[in-house]
Amino acid sequence: MAITPAALEEGVVADATGAEPVAGKSPTQIALRRLRKDKVAMFCAFLVLVMTVLAILAPVITGAMNIYWDVSHPDAPTGSEVLDVYGFPIIGPPFNGFTWEHPLGLAPRTGSDNLAYLLYGLRTSMIVAFSAAVLSTFIGVVIGLVSGFSRGWVDRVLSFITDMFLSFPSLLAMLALAPIIVSHFGGNLDLLGTVQFVTLIVILVIFGWMSLARLIRGQVLSLREREFIQAAEVIGVPTRQILFKELLPNLIAPIVITLSLNLPAFVALEAGLSFLGLGLSDIPSLGKMVSDARTYYSDYPLFLWVPVAAIGVLTLALNLLGDSVRDAFDPRTRR
């Protein structure tokens, strides 16, 4: 889900340096210390860490457990070995007891292992969300900085573009863009998977940078009037140095906050796009798993609830963590 203006409005950090001064500590250090004391944040961080490790270790875990999401793998069981004529697994849930061979059961009709699929799905989610968050943050910061620092027509043009992207029906546009981008590279099968993957990240970035750009621009506009920046300008410090050496350090807080709130938004959006059937066709994705499992809600509930829970827990943990990060960097929001 795209980050809503409301969440941002609340996250507006009028003055990052306004945190209470403690001798010898940078604002970031102070924020981190505050974060460490926050139990909810620590628990969520732990959850996120566990899921990240699981995602990174997915090949190792599935290898050790001898489970496969990809039914074309030579060692994966064939459909007729593990499924009945109606496509339901003959071992494990939903009709038979728990088995360690397939702790979360097998997918109906294909016999791919749900745990393995889940782990690889997490991997996809995280890679997509992380890449998209970093890239969109980068673009947002650059556009925000340039737009805020350069008065005049550059600012006006950039602001207009930002507003225009904001008034775009982003989900529709993403849905429309994806197949068009892919179709330009279509036909080449070796590339197809990669193209879909990159396309997904690209469209998330295209419609994900605006809020940060606006935020940064606002920050820069106010910082620009501050003495230390004006002094730097007067003594002839090069613009680039002012931007990156003087301004950027003061923008750490909004950047970190946006980044941490964008991560869960991109996780949700990636899953949402594949849920709508227009994401990745041949790469495991949690959203696609939910979409596949929709019709099994009563015959094979576990098949549906596993990916639903995974998306829920991941986005919840990331969001709560992001919220705590915001509180830590800007204590004034906690009223």
- The yes or no reply on residue 268 touching other proteins (CB under 8 A) is yes
| Closest CB to other proteins among residues 70, 246 | 70
Minimum separation from the CB atom of position 90 to other proteins (A): 11
Comparing CB distances to other proteins, the nearer of 234 and 298 is 298
Burial class for 138, CB neighbours closer than 10 Å (0-12, 13-18, 19+): middle
Contacts to other proteins from residues 300-329, by CB under 8 A: 304, 308, 311-312, 315-316, 318-320, 323
Q: How far is the CB of 283 from other proteins (least distance, A)?
A: 11
Among 19, 41, 67, 83, binds other proteins (CB under 8 A): 83
Q: Is 94 in the site for other proteins (CB under 8 A)?
A: no
Half-sphere exposure of 182 (CA within 13 A, CB side): 23
Q: Which of 23, 24, 86, 235 binds other proteins (CB under 8 A)?
A: 86
Handedness of CA 191, 72, 62, 103 (dihedral sign): positive
What 235-240 contacts at long range (C-beta under 8 Å, 24+ apart), as own/partner pairs, is 239/149
How far apart, in whole angstroms, are the C-alpha atoms of residue 228 and residue 10? 27
Least separation in angstroms between residue 273's CB and other proteins is 10
Nearer of residues 250 and 292 to other proteins, judged by Cβ? 292
Binding-site size for other proteins (CB under 8 A) equals 78
Q: What angle do CA 235, 238, 241 make, to 5 degrees?
A: 110
Q: Which stretch binds other proteins (CB under 8 A): 107-115, 126-134, 198-206, 239-247?
A: 107-115
Paired tokens of 27: 């604002």
Contacts of 254 (CB under 8 A, 6+ apart): 11, 12, 13, 16, 212, 215, 216, 219
Q: Does 222 bind other proteins (CB under 8 A)?
A: no
Which one among 2, 129, 215, 220 touches other proteins, defined by CB under 8 A?
Answer: 2
> Is residue 15 involved in binding other proteins (CB under 8 A)?
no
| Residues 203, 57, 103, 266, Cα dihedral to 10° | -20
Q: Residues with Cβ < 8 Å from 290, sequence gap 6 or more?
A: 271, 275, 304, 307, 308, 311
Q: Is 180 in the site for other proteins (CB under 8 A)?
A: yes
The footprint of other proteins on residues 34-53 (CB under 8 A) is: none
